[in-house]
Chain A
């Protein structure tokens, strides 16, 4: 029987039998659909990618205000679109290594202050012109211009000089930074003709797909670009991103086969979706995390004991179970988890301890209630999470008053302004970037108002350190300081939860972003 099935599954893989027929015959042979699907998947994977066809993604996170200018990208749809038509110097692999793209190789001076990127030969823009080192330089210049509103501007501030030298681009830094190649993988830094200085919104770059229809907030259609240098990427001949911001509409579009994959499946309905035939839930534990933020310099939170009381009063496991429905992992009051390459996993896990919380609370001398501001937009389930926290705090004798703020204006009026609020972080590719963005004293988004000279110094030392073992040690010490003294209460890291429809093969679990690190549309193909 299983011989017959494997024969049939190979016929499906080679496109001589339809999937539906196969499943029908498998059912006739008394095999469960799950088993048959598994068998099919193995055969299809073994047969290799199927070229051609149209792959469609239904995505949350696009509006009619989106633009093709990489400098403006912030939400999921423009970023995803950029990953398909654009290409940067390097990118990140699912395991966190740097993969060369437009740069064929890169190297640094021993002091990590000068970086050289060799530009690959034979890469062309969608308008047919060659990608030159000058184009790369112009791109970097545009995004590092003080007046630019580029989302990558913050990454570029450490750059002192840039120049073209033969077929390389040389970047000189003000201070040593061992992580510079990671920064160059940022999705804003897609290489454009003359850096996009002439016309940033024309949608021309050098990725595996070229834009053929661009209707912001509605849909984006891309066709395979024949001139792409790497034949392993981009299997479908056409890909399409359809903006579906409504969660129910997104699920129904997947169920009815109008799209082949969707992002942002809500944790509470994952178990329901799993039962739908042909639909596969794809999760990846990334660097994104949900946070409760204390301002370390504002009363009453400038009191270390009060901050510790609030940390011990957080029931992290309950948060993961009830807010994320298990699709996530518990946090440890630092913004770093095992998704980072240099994460030290021997840091002691802080857990819910009402007695310790009560003791610290008593020691802090604070009385009365603590005001926590939250909103639906802070993260999915934020208001519920705040109420759960209120209850666990009550067990330690701490009264938390939860104030629900309107979603409109939450980011401009509450987050980073009020002393105690809920929020989320999408994470950054490296620890250096995460700490520099939010925990360095001079960081723009130091949303916990954490000012610690020692911590700052260690950050700069780690940044210049090329020896990974030493760096790992420094990061461990920094995490210890932050965990003990910081204003961050991080109960949980959330998983990315995506879903694919029948016949989608080639999916790679990738913690870097939603939808297989943003590359699902070029990594996957449609089996017969």
Chain B
């Protein structure tokens, strides 16, 4: 591996870390400007000036904001996300199971949707402007245009209520047999697949079509290669960077954007957890979840950028 590529990657990773710090400042500042403070929201209606003062003292709220920020940040760097105000439980412990559930669902949705989207994209390009392309694009557009809760309800209506093949609510728990777990997440995973499929498939199609205009594709055609060989061997590798980008954005969505799907299917993931704690004004939890979501987002974007750098032949083979 040559030096410019290592340097670029190192720069990109460093930028990601810097960004994460910036986000942590924003999250902290954002929760500070909420009306009332944490002590006020814990005590609620029963707050008296004395109990407020005691609680502020106890929680260290009297220190200046920057002191509290760094205390919070160092805690996180040591893996300590703090304690939830409402349940007094360690946040890191409670989040672990939830995060795992969300990742589990996202993983299976990705395993189905990414290959499917790319294959459909390739097919659409192969038979471009023909009936196959129109059918694929049409269905994909239809599934993105419908809001995800509606897709969810449709799936529940047909597969859980009418034909009763899959459960309509997806409560998973520790120690649940793997096959049952897969059955439980079948519908939410399908809903998510339908939501992200179209975006990835359309981007794949557009990116490859873009490459197809290049002169070397014409050369390949003149060489007498079949349409599929041209697309697979020549167009696809050169379109990989934008495809990875859109795949990563959708992966990020699968982790951080599934609140609605989780609520509909009663899936015990991060989204549900965040919603519950926002409603109770449990600021430390909201901060922790916000930071985790930001980290996932930034990480996946860095991965996408690094992958595009690696996929760039000019960088891989410098003159």
Chain A residues in contact with chain B, CB under 8 A? 58, 63-67, 149, 213, 215-219, 242-246, 248-249, 252-253, 255-259, 412, 444
- Cβ 8 A contact of A217, one of B44, B161, B167, B268: B268
Name A's interface SS.
loop
Additional A-B contacts beyond A65-B86, A65-B277, A218-B266 (9; CB < 8 A): A63-B280, A217-B273, A219-B173, A243-B266, A244-B169, A245-B266, A249-B169, A249-B263, A256-B168
A252 lies within 8 A of B161 (CB): yes
Contact with A along B120-136 (1 / 0, CB 8 A): 00000000000000000
Across the two chains, which residue of chain A brings its CB closest to B167? A258
A67 lies within 8 A of B268 (CB): no
Given contacts A65-B280, A252-B161, whether A213 and B173 have CB atoms under 8 Å apart is yes
Across the two chains, which residue of chain B brings its CB closest to A244? B266
Chain B residues with CB under 8 Å of A219's CB are 171, 173
- Cβ 8 A contact of A255, one of B45, B161, B266, B268: B161
Across the two chains, which residue of chain B brings its CB closest to A416? B45
A144 to chain B, nearest CB (A): 15
Across the two chains, which residue of chain B brings its CB closest to A257? B164
Given contacts A64-B94, A65-B277, A149-B46, whether A248 and B153 have CB atoms under 8 Å apart is yes
B173 lies within 8 A of A249 (CB): no
Residue B157 is within 8 A (CB to CB) of chain A in the complex:
yes
B164 lies within 8 A of A256 (CB): yes
Which residues in window 190-245 of B have CB below 8 A to A? none
Residue B265 is within 8 A (CB to CB) of chain A in the complex:
yes
5 contacts between A and B (CB under 8 A): A63-B276, A67-B88, A217-B273, A217-B276, A249-B168
A217 lies within 8 A of B86 (CB): no
Cα A77 to Cα B266 with chains together (Å):
15
A64 lies within 8 A of B273 (CB): yes
- Cβ 8 A contact of A249, one of B265, B277, B280: B265
Residue B84 is within 8 A (CB to CB) of chain A in the complex:
yes
Instruction: Count chain B residues whose beta carbon lies closer than 8 angstroms to a beta carbon of A.
Output: 32
B160 lies within 8 A of A252 (CB): yes
Cα A257 to Cα B272 with chains together (Å):
23
A256 lies within 8 A of B160 (CB): yes
Residue B87 is within 8 A (CB to CB) of chain A in the complex:
yes
- Cβ 8 A contact of B272, one of A217, A248, A252: A217
Of the candidates B160, B171, B265, B282, the one having the most CB atoms from chain A within 10 angstroms of its own CB is B171
A249 lies within 8 A of B266 (CB): yes
B32 to chain A, nearest CB (A): 18
- Cβ 8 A contact of B157, one of A216, A252, A258, A412: A252
10 closest A-B pairs (Cβ-Cβ)?
A65-B86, A63-B276, A218-B268, A252-B168, A64-B276, A256-B160, A255-B161, A253-B169, A252-B156, A256-B168
Cα A431 to Cα B98 with chains together (Å):
44
Chain A residues with CB under 8 Å of B264's CB are 246, 248-249
- Cβ 8 A contact of B263, one of A58, A245, A255, A257: A245
- Cβ 8 A contact of B167, one of A67, A216, A256: A256
A218 lies within 8 A of B156 (CB): no
Given contacts A149-B46, A249-B265, A252-B157, whether A215 and B173 have CB atoms under 8 Å apart is yes
A218 lies within 8 A of B173 (CB): yes
Cα A253 to Cα B267 with chains together (Å):
13
Cα A218 to Cα B46 with chains together (Å):
29
B176 to chain A, nearest CB (A): 11
Contact with A along B278-309 (1 / 0, CB 8 A): 01101000000000000000000000000000
Across the two chains, which residue of chain B brings its CB closest to A251? B161
B59 to chain A, nearest CB (A): 16
Given contacts A217-B272, A252-B157, whether A65 and B266 have CB atoms under 8 Å apart is no
Chain A residues with CB under 8 Å of B164's CB are 256-257
B116 to chain A, nearest CB (A): 26
Chain A residues with CB under 8 Å of B167's CB are 256, 258
